[in-house]
Structure 1
Amino acid sequence: MSLDWIYIAISWLLLRWHELWDLIVPKTVVLGTNWSWVLAIVFLVITVRILLFPLFVKQIRSQRAMQAIQPKVKELQAKHKGDKETLQREMMELYRTEKANPLMGCLPLVLQMPVFLGLLHVLRRLVPDGKHNPTLYGWTAEQFDLASHAKLFGAPIAGKFGATAGVEALGSTPLNVKIVAGVLILMMMATTFMTSRQMILKTGWSEDPQQKMIQRLMLYGIPFTLLISGYLFPIGVIIYWVTTNLFSLGQQFWVLKKYPPPPAAAKIGEKSKDVDAAAKLTVEAPKPGVKPANQKKRGARR
């Protein structure tokens, strides 16, 4: 199946935003950055996330419904322990009655993947090496040339931490690319961690061991894998990822405030915070026979 329609759609959005910002910001390079192209990527993210916002709200509502019906789910599991067919039928009826959809949690992420992959493909071909057709996916030769030379703090947006060959021809250096890409990769990892942490602190750790393992994977595993994948991502794609994470942080803050978790989940979240606070006090507590630091200071003053 050809994915050209995705590449054409992503290119069209990117080019329209670039044309708009080209009218607003200076066309000259400022701080080693072609801001019209960088802002075009940022507003590509904002466009996609605004279009997907209604689905995100449905996702949160479905998650709340799933949390609220957990006691009923456990009752059904206990009642139909040896009858999988009846259990499945009763579970589907429960989901329908309570308007809960277990698959809704993955839908916004699944719909964002084609956009991410489309931008990755489009930016990877922005290399003026004669091997790529500059007029593919609705681009003009001039737009291709401008985009392939576009930079963020002196590093080409099509450049990668792990592939710096040929960047001199674009007016940059391998060290410049590695510094800019390295900082962005760290930002990508940090914002990914913060996004998952924000959700877990609000809703609490799951009591189900399997779900808790998935939460830990989301919190620690995914940010770590970005250290590897970020090595191969073009700088423009990392800009996209960091922007979408920042958008997610603001979006989750608003939605979690408007649609708070059920009381049971909120208590779990508060319990997690209390455990963390208790652990911190235990670590900071003085050892037997050792006076606290503040007590020593009072004695010195006397």
Structure 2
Amino acid sequence: MTPLYYAVSAVLLGWHWVFEHVPGLSDGWTWVLSIVGLTVTIRAMLIPLFVKQIKSSRNMQLLQPKIKELQKKYAHDRERLTQEQMKLWKDTGTNPFASCLPLLAQMPVFFALFRTIDQAAKAPEDNLEKGVRGFFNVEYIESLQNAKIFGGRIADTFMNAEHLETRIIAILLVIVMCATQFLTQRQLMAKNMPADALNGPYAQQQKMLLYVLPPVFAVGGIFFPLGVLFYWVTSNFWTMGQQFYVIRRNPAPGTPAFKAKQDRDAAKGKDVAQDPAAVVDEIVKPKPRVQPKKQTRNQRKKGGSR
């Protein structure tokens, strides 16, 4: 984790340097805005992964009819079914695990930020050097320990808070965190999933996560410092806005969002988007085989002599 401590602390302290020069900002707001800046930086760097996630998720939805055909065809041969599914995903450039990439990429950063703030908060007053991580020094540790926002210390958690304000802010942040997580997932399922896909195993898994993850995050959230909760909430709002933009501009065919975009395009006099069936056929259409260039007899002889 040491390289991550340096990377996270470098970005965090870079934003801290920016905001500490803003007149009128307290230490608490300076640190909170620095954490928001860190979140925006990380999420901006993950945009390529998000684009890959959206493409694979969209293909997974569109390929559901083809997957069902394979399941019927090879219902009694699980090994062959797996091979055919893998071949279909490979031919269409679809990665069924791509939806986890942004989350997996964020987790090391999340834990590095958690450890950086947590160790700073636990450092004893007579030995603040114990809380140093990455580019942090004793001055930053002391500033972080005493930083408050609305009366709550951003380095404290709900469980170890000494002030009522800290517990209230922590509960509010946990509620917002769970609500944004739920609404983001519900937005995806309600607007950007075809009717056929909503009845498949992929959709059932998404429905389960829709109701299971918020309580899990709520239980875990009470053990996180306020600063980490601000990171999580900011990241959720980014995800919600990013997903809303993608669904509105490039929805999956056969979904309510796709129909809404067709209506908007028709109202503006634009060409209506392509039919869903044609999109699926285009995705699963095998790539044409590249024919070798014709060669003369002399060229073939030269090639053979080499």
Q: 1:60 to 1:4 in 2, by over 3 A?
A: same
**Contact map agreement 1:185 1:227 (CA 8 A) in 2:** yes
The residue type equivalent to 1:159 in the other structure is: D
Q: 1:260 to 1:141 in 2, by over 3 A?
A: same
Percent of aligned pairs sharing the same letter: 37
Q: Name the CA distance, whole Å, in 2 between partners of 1:213 and 1:89.
A: 23
The alignment status of 1:194 with 2:180, answered yes or no, reads: no
Secondary structure at the residue paired with 2:156?
A: coil
**Contact map agreement 2:128 2:141 (CA 8 A) in 1:** no
TM-score normalised by length of structure 2: 0.77
Secondary structure at the residue paired with 2:251?
A: coil
The residue type equivalent to 1:231 in the other structure is: I
Task: Show the counterpart of 1:171.
Answer: none
Q: Name the CA distance, whole Å, in 2 between partners of 1:64 and 1:5.
A: 35
Bigger mean CA deviation after superposition, 106-115 or 182-191? 182-191
**Contact map agreement 1:159 1:235 (CA 8 A) in 2:** yes
Q: Gaps spanning 5+ residues in structure 2: where?
A: 261-306
Q: In the TM superposition, what are the counterparts of 1:1-302 in structure 2 within 5 Å? A: 3-27=1-25, 29=26, 34-127=28-121, 128-129=123-124, 130=127, 133-164=130-161, 167=162, 174-204=163-193, 206-208=197-199, 210-263=201-254, 265-266=255-256
Task: Show the counterpart of 1:277.
Answer: none
The residue type equivalent to 1:214 in the other structure is: Q
The residue type equivalent to 2:39 in the other structure is: V
Secondary structure at the residue paired with 1:24?
A: coil
The residue type equivalent to 1:198 in the other structure is: Q
**Contact map agreement 2:128 2:142 (CA 8 A) in 1:** no
Task: Show the counterpart of 1:275.
Answer: none
TM-score normalised by length of structure 1: 0.78
**Contact map agreement 1:25 1:36 (CA 8 A) in 2:** no
RMSD: 2.2
**Contact map agreement 2:56 2:94 (CA 8 A) in 1:** yes
Q: Per-residue CA shift, 1:60-100, capped at 9, x if unaligned?
A: 11111111121211222222222233322222221122221
Q: Name the CA distance, whole Å, in 2 between partners of 1:81 and 1:238.
A: 46
Secondary structure at the residue paired with 1:133?
A: helix
Q: Name the CA distance, whole Å, in 2 between partners of 1:230 and 1:193.
A: 15
**Contact map agreement 2:13 2:34 (CA 8 A) in 1:** yes
| Count of aligned residue pairs for this structure pair | 255
Q: Gaps spanning 5+ residues in structure 1: where?
A: 168-173, 271-302
Q: Name the CA distance, whole Å, in 2 between partners of 1:25 and 1:52.
A: 32
Bigger mean CA deviation after superposition, 232-241 or 135-144? 135-144
1:234, distance to aligned residue in structure 2 (A): 0.5
Q: 1:136 to 1:70 in 2, by over 3 A?
A: closer
Q: Name the CA distance, whole Å, in 2 between partners of 1:62 and 1:163.
A: 42
Q: Name the CA distance, whole Å, in 2 between partners of 1:241 and 1:48.
A: 12
